[in-house]
A and B are shown apart, each in its own frame.
Chain A
Amino acid sequence: MGILSWTLLIPLFGGILMMLIPSRDSYSEKSSASIYGWIALGITTLAMVVSIFMLINFDNSADGYQFQEKFEWIPQFGLNYHLGIDGISILLFMLTTIIMPFSVLSSFKYIQKRKKEYYIWLLFLEFTMLGAFVALNLFIFYIFWELMLIPMFFLIGIWGGPKRIYATVKFVLFTVVGSLMMLAGIVYLAILARNTFGEFTFEFEQLMKLNIPLQTQLWLFAAFALAFAIKVPMFPFHTWLPDAHVEAPTAGSVILAGVLLKMGGYGFIRLGIPLFGDAALQAAPLMQLLAVIGIVYGACLALAQSDLKKLVAYSSISHLGYVMLGLFALTPEAIQGSILQMVNHGISTGALFALVGMIYERRHTREIADFGGLAYRLPLFSVAFMIITLSSVALPGTNGFIGEFLILLGSFKAAWAQYLAHQQVFGLVLMVFATSGVILGAYYMLWMVQRVFFGPLNNDKNKNLKDLSFREMVVLIPFIIFVFWIGLFPKSYLTKMEKSVNSYVEQYQPQELKQKLTVPDEHEGLAEKSTEIIKTKP
């Protein structure tokens, strides 16, 4: 068994092990941290440590999958347990293993009922999410993809807020509608594969060799895209997200924003575009349009919210719009930016949900109007919130900037090439709207900060709040470290995926774009010249 399987199986067996621990009466337990919490923390930390070992051994210069494992499961149908990781998935995989211990830690106080069950579901959730990122067999991927729903269903449905049943049913129904379409598409693909290769196969690499006529591709792409777009979520399939976020317990929200939403983007980049390349190119303008609508629309809706958590949820829609915009630009800058932005969004939005959870634990309200002047009472909390806010509005020097900048830059480059090739301004107009997201983003976030943290401390209930505890600082400090680490030294992150993304772009970028994009090479001499000028010191 390889290291990937170990990382996957640690939370799975950990969860099973926890089931076997005789249950104490966890209903009446009052202590803030229970034995189950500590066990879950240990298990997720172990998985994190193992994954870090894997990261250390990851070869940046290799192109293609690493740490592959393959076992036959039902060979008659081409079902193999096939795992592997490459530059596209490694950051998302690491994000998951790193975010889990901190989500566990942030639940210690919030979760007061049925603790054992809660942590078991969290561990199962980790198992399924990790599996989806490393599966190289479409069927296995689908199993992980669908399994993910079950823990999330219970997490929101049992430990959620007052409207949790509505939210969880909505979440599951939306997702299942998309997934079933994808399942139909998968079956069709398998049949196509049998007709071509003479046997069933679900291996990614085999399926990508299929030559599918454009018309069929479009239908299949639509089926897959629906599943992914709902998960992202893209406009207009986003309405499940605010409800799910608002009702979910803090850790649920952190994981939902931090990892689950990445599944959609990952699906597009791993499957949607490679499997149906021609169809994806045809659909790219539409997808980019929806992405840009998502950016602006999500930001406007965030502006209109009076509930902190809802505001953060809508901001997610806006941020993920950037991710989708970049993925369909198909330039290396934009795709690297998109993958990094998925990670960034996991960090900054995950941290925001953790912060909102902390304030909710103190005041049992999330209405912005109930706050005001908190900076005076909670200086450390405010500083942490401010830093994460700045990361969310993509201030240069924080992680958010690198992602957004690369996406916008790369997408603009593609739009410009389109303009030069066809004299079409559609792409450029889209870019103007997409870039306007930086204004709206600053508006809704800073307005919220002003109403929550600044102004007079009028509400008597806010006058005796306690600042961050040691445990809460342990939860927040890693997020803050990553904010600046990625913001100031993004190179180590970008080189991890560089090789994979470059060969990806090489394969799927449209021909005309490639030609147009080579134009700047004429001026290659410039860079050397400018350094020469600098070096003229005697």
Chain B
Amino acid sequence: MENSLILIIVLLPLAGALLNGIVAAANAYRKKEIWGEKISGILAFSTVALSFILSMYAVFVKMAGAEAIACTPYQWMTAGGLNVNITFMIDHLSAVMLLVVTGVSAVIHFYSIGYIHGDKSSVRYFTYLNLFVFAMLLLILGDSMPVMFVGWEGVGLCSYLLIGFWYKEDEKAAAGKKAFIVNRIGDFGFLLGMFLIFANVGSLAIADVNEYFHQHNSMTFFWTNVAAICLFIGATGKSAQIPLYVWLPDAMAGPTPVSALIHAATMVTAGVYMVCRFHGVYLAAPVAMQVVLWVGGLTALFSATIALYQNDIKKVLAYSTVSQLGFMFMAAGAGAFVIAIFHLMTHAFFKACLFLGSGSVIHAMGGEQDIRYMGGLKKFMPATFLTFTLATLAIAGFPPFAGFFSKDEILWNVFASGHGNKIVWLIGMVAALCTAFYMFRLVYLTFFGSFRGSRQQEHHLHESPKTMTVPLMILAALSVVGGWIGIPKLLSFGAIPNYFHDYLEPTLSKYGHVHIDHYSHATEYALMALSVAIAFAGWLLARMLFRELKYRLPDPATYTGISRLLWNKYFIDEIYMKFIVNPIKYLSTNIFLNIADKKIIDGAANGSASGWKWVAVLLSFFQSGNIQAYGFYMLFGATIAFIFALFLF
């Protein structure tokens, strides 16, 4: 088979998962450990690390100069006009994703070895984590929609299993279930889009689909947009956008490395990746592009405002993730697919760093996640503090940190692109302001001031072990320099090539370009300065309010007005519960089960049965055993018959 290297990259994590899974089952069956957390952790880490190294080899050596390499292990299904091969393809887009995913996964696997230490189910943990990487690779490398969908739902499954990893607590199991079901709502859209596309294109291979929409589109304008929007519904589920974002904050119930890997760096970005992958479809569907742009913009602002008032360190980061994903969709909606992927990459670095940092903090705090009870941690955990701050500078958009380049370019494209929109640009700017503010609020409340927790917690404070701090440093370094591969020509005056752009542009403009309105360089510089100013403004505001916290933060129960609305996340969960979930349950139990099934259908069946019983009872009166009565019936019948005969003939 050609390029079987790709197959090895994909199968390594699966092998790790299978091996660990079998050992976990055998441990349970024999009630003694064959191997424990140490070996399983090292096994899991090394499969992913090896996968990363091989990916680098594949991308930089085997693929050098080529547009794409592919490998087809076997034919998956054939029926009628459908023909799906299991094909893994690395092109420039999936190459970027591949490196980000395997790289960040390897780092987080390493971190997990320290983090999960002492947990009895660690073998199970590494099984799921490896399985996740496998599913993610299917999603990225699958070159047809069904193969992609295997990965798409596979990562959803792993997310479900890992959110509910500590399933003994009911809320955690419920959070996992919620994530799966909300994602299924998105998948429902994805499936419909896939069917609609198949009915028209006659193929589900990604290249065929893009080519069809680019060149041969015979669908009407309406249905083209419907198809693109259906796919986007899938993206809103997986990438936690309005209206399906509600599962992500709850997903923080999982172990923190999982939040970092799945719910920040990789899985949740799958929606963005998918939209970019199908840019041929989206470029043919301008209405759908507008939907993507607006949903992205609104989500960015909406969840940034919620993050302003959260006190749980992981919840703040979760809403921040939703918001940043919104930024990525804004870029995609504006047609700047390269920038969307650029932000996806930088976000993977700094957000993974932030989550792992929060894990380190929670570890030190003995499980406490409420920032009202933290404070002054910088002197206890300097490495965590430093890396967390660097990542914060990156996400807030300070130059020259990674987030600055990607976020600034997103806003510029939304401002200037033919698909962009000045109102959405403004929304994006406000969201960026909120981002800087809530992130620095988090930093100040956690690391500055004096410690506000219990005496016991203070005694326990310590820096995390090397297995945890080394990954933090790697990711922090990437948060600083990660953006330098994509410095816009305008800033470097053409001195440094924009490597990232040059690498991805040919792949992502294969099916058409987006028109960028012409503005003077001065405007561009002004906008850039404005976005830096906004980052500073957010920082200064947070510094003013939270640097030396002299007062105790108010109890959320006493909030009123806007703060109450934001603390309660706009009551969206409650609204969904009341208007969607509960009506379905009510309909099922009280109408379908108790009335339709029991009363009407079974009533008819049992009714006709007892109806016959009554007929029988009635007829049995005639079977009296009384000879005279029988004689009378005979005479009566004969008379009737006689009269009939008389009239008829």
Contact = CB atoms under 8 A, between A and B. Distances in A.
B146 A396 contact: yes
Nearest to B63: A537
A379 B79 contact: no
B588 A304 contact: yes
Contacts of A416: 196, 199-200
Of B157, B202, B203, most A-chain CB atoms within 10 Å = B202
A413 interface: yes
Nearest to A444: B588
A250 interface: no
A238 B70 CA distance: 49
A217 interface: no
Contacts of A436: 188
B602 A536 contact: no
A520 B150 CA distance: 25
A336 B587 contact: no
A526 B203 contact: yes
Interface in A329-344: 331-333, 336-337
A523 B198 contact: no
B25 A379 contact: yes
B61 interface: no
A530 B168 contact: no
Contacts of B78: 491, 494-495, 498
A412 B145 CA distance: 16
A530 B25 contact: no
Interface string A191-220: 000000000000000000000000000000
A63 interface: no
Contacts of B185: 439
A413 B198 contact: yes
Contacts of A454: 164, 167-168, 170, 173
A15 interface: no
Contacts of A537: 63, 66-69
B143 to A, nearest CB: 8
Interface in B141-185: 143, 146, 149-150, 152-154, 157, 160, 164, 167-170, 173-174, 177, 180-181, 184-185
Interface string B198-213: 1111110111100110
Contacts of A383: 25
A236 interface: yes
- Chain A, interface size category, equals 35 or more
Nearest to B90: A534
Nearest to B204: A409
B200 A520 contact: yes
A455 B143 CA distance: 39
Given A239-B597, A396-B150, A490-B77, A409 B187 contact: no
Interface in A504-524: 505, 517, 519-524
B82 interface: yes
Contacts of B184: 438-439, 442-443
Interface string A428-469: 000110011011001100110110011111000000000100
Contacts of A530: 205-208, 211
A357 interface: no
Interface in A22-64: none
A530 B329 CA distance: 27
Contacts of A432: 192
A94 B95 CA distance: 44
Contact of B68 (A408, A409, A410, A533): A533
Interface stretch (A105-113, A121-129, A256-264, A295-303): A295-303
B585 A379 contact: no
A491 B77 contact: yes
Interface in B58-106: 63, 65-70, 74-83, 89
A332 B164 CA distance: 40
Contacts of B587: 300
B203 A523 contact: yes
Contacts of A438: 184, 187-188, 191
A3 interface: no
A303 B170 contact: no
A297 B194 CA distance: 25
B592 interface: yes
A453 B208 contact: no
A449 B177 CA distance: 9
Contacts of A157: none
A376 interface: yes
A529 interface: yes
Interface string A380-399: 10010000001000011100
Interface string B587-612: 11100110011000110010001000
A413 B192 CA distance: 11
Given A431-B192, A455-B170, A491-B76, A413 B199 contact: yes
A442 B181 contact: yes
B185 to A, nearest CB: 6
A375 B176 CA distance: 15
A530 B211 CA distance: 9
B208 A333 contact: no
Interface string A152-166: 000000000000000
Contacts of B195: 408-409, 412-413, 431, 435
B28 interface: yes
A533 B75 contact: no
Contacts of B79: 332-333, 336-337, 406, 410, 494, 498
A340 to B, nearest CB: 9
Contact of A412 (B199, B205, B593): B199
Nearest to A517: B81
A527 B203 contact: yes
Contact of B168 (A380, A456, A491, A498): A456
Contact of A304 (B81, B173, B174, B585): B585
B439 to A, nearest CB: 34
A301 B592 contact: yes
Given A395-B154, A397-B153, 18 more contacts: A301-B597, A380-B25, A380-B29, A405-B146, A406-B79, A408-B195, A412-B195, A439-B188, A446-B180, A446-B181, A450-B174, A505-B80, A520-B203, A526-B212, A527-B205, A530-B206, A530-B211, A538-B65
20 contacts: A170-B605, A301-B593, A304-B589, A304-B593, A331-B80, A396-B146, A402-B77, A413-B198, A439-B185, A442-B184, A450-B177, A454-B170, A456-B169, A491-B74, A520-B200, A520-B201, A526-B208, A535-B70, A536-B68, A537-B69
